[in-house]
Amino acid sequence: MKELQKKILEEGHALSESILKVDSFLNHKVDPSLMYSIGKSFAEHFKDMGITKIFTIESSGIAPAVMTALQMDLPMVILKKKESKILSEDVYQTTVHSFTKDSDYELTLSKKYICPEDNILIIDDFLANGEASKGTIRLVEQCGAKVTGIEIVIEKSFQPGRKLLDKQGYHVYSLARIKRLAKDTIEFMD
């Protein structure tokens, strides 16, 4: 998606070979027009695949996920990363390792928001090692539902996440695929 690539080049900051900071439009301050375009692209790609719900993990995936849900006229479910006093029973949980924070967290999904007949579309802001997607997949499969696709705003193609998900047979669609990062350098795949 050219609009997203342009925004990444203009406002993104490659801090190292593995860290891309995009907090000016995606995960701290949000560009609603860009999120609308992202949602439109995601909705178009998966429009005929029988999706019944859209899942995302709090918090950076919420903006693109809600725009996609709006355009597909589907419910969106936010998986929780933080402990909650009101989500203590009747939940699916799994442990996920965060590459960015280099720590583990407990990913939680209330059982009342998924059923075995669901076809789930996962939306996330970044794909690096695939841990967030794999954790979400584990929760969906605990219920017996199906992951129909995984949509990623920015993929770090030089990290193993995409290869792992492809190898497991998941349909991954990324809007911006980064081939290489270095301090102040961002290169996209063709």
Number of separate domains in the chain: 1
Question: What percentage of the chain has pLDDT greater than the value 70?
Answer: 97
Q: How confident is the model at residue 77 (pLDDT cuts 50, 70, 90)?
A: very high
- Higher-confidence position of 98 and 115: 115
Average pLDDT over residues 10-24: 95
Q: Residue 110: what pLDDT?
A: 93
Asked whether residue 156 is marked as a ligand-binding residue, the answer is yes
Q: Residue 99: what pLDDT?
A: 72
Q: Residue 26: what pLDDT?
A: 95
Asked whether residue 63 is marked as a ligand-binding residue, the answer is no
**How is the chain classified by DSSP, letter by letter?**
-HHHHHHHHHH-EE-SSS-EE-TTTTSSS--HHHHHHHHHHHHHHTTTS---EEEEETTTTHHHHHHHHHHHT--EEEEB-S--SSS-SSEEEEEEEETTTTEEEEEEEEGGG--TT-EEEEEEEEESSSHHHHHHHHHHHHHT-EEEEEEEEEEETTSTHHHHHHHTT--EEEEEEEEEEETTEEEE--
> Over 80: is that where the pLDDT of 137 sits?
yes
Q: How confident is the model at residue 39 (pLDDT cuts 50, 70, 90)?
A: very high
The domain that contains 54 carries what CATH number? 3.40.50.2020
Q: What's the pTM value of the predicted model, to 2 decimals?
A: 0.94
CA distance 64 to 23: 14
Q: Residue 102: what pLDDT?
A: 80
Asked whether residue 50 is marked as a ligand-binding residue, the answer is no
Q: How confident is the model at residue 186 (pLDDT cuts 50, 70, 90)?
A: very high
Q: Residue 97: what pLDDT?
A: 85
Q: Which tens digits make up the pLDDT trace of 50-71?
A: 999 999 999 889 999 999 999 9
Q: How confident is the model at residue 85 (pLDDT cuts 50, 70, 90)?
A: low
Q: Residue 101: what pLDDT?
A: 76
Q: Residue 34: what pLDDT?
A: 98
To the nearest whole number, what is the mean pLDDT of the chain? 94
Which phi and psi angles does 122 have, rounded to 5°?
A: -95, 135
Asked whether residue 128 is marked as a ligand-binding residue, the answer is yes
Q: Which residues neighbour 189 within 8 Å (Cβ) at sequence distance 6 or greater?
A: 157, 177, 178, 179
Range of the domain at 104: 2-188
Average pLDDT over residues 78-86: 78
Asked whether residue 131 is marked as a ligand-binding residue, the answer is yes
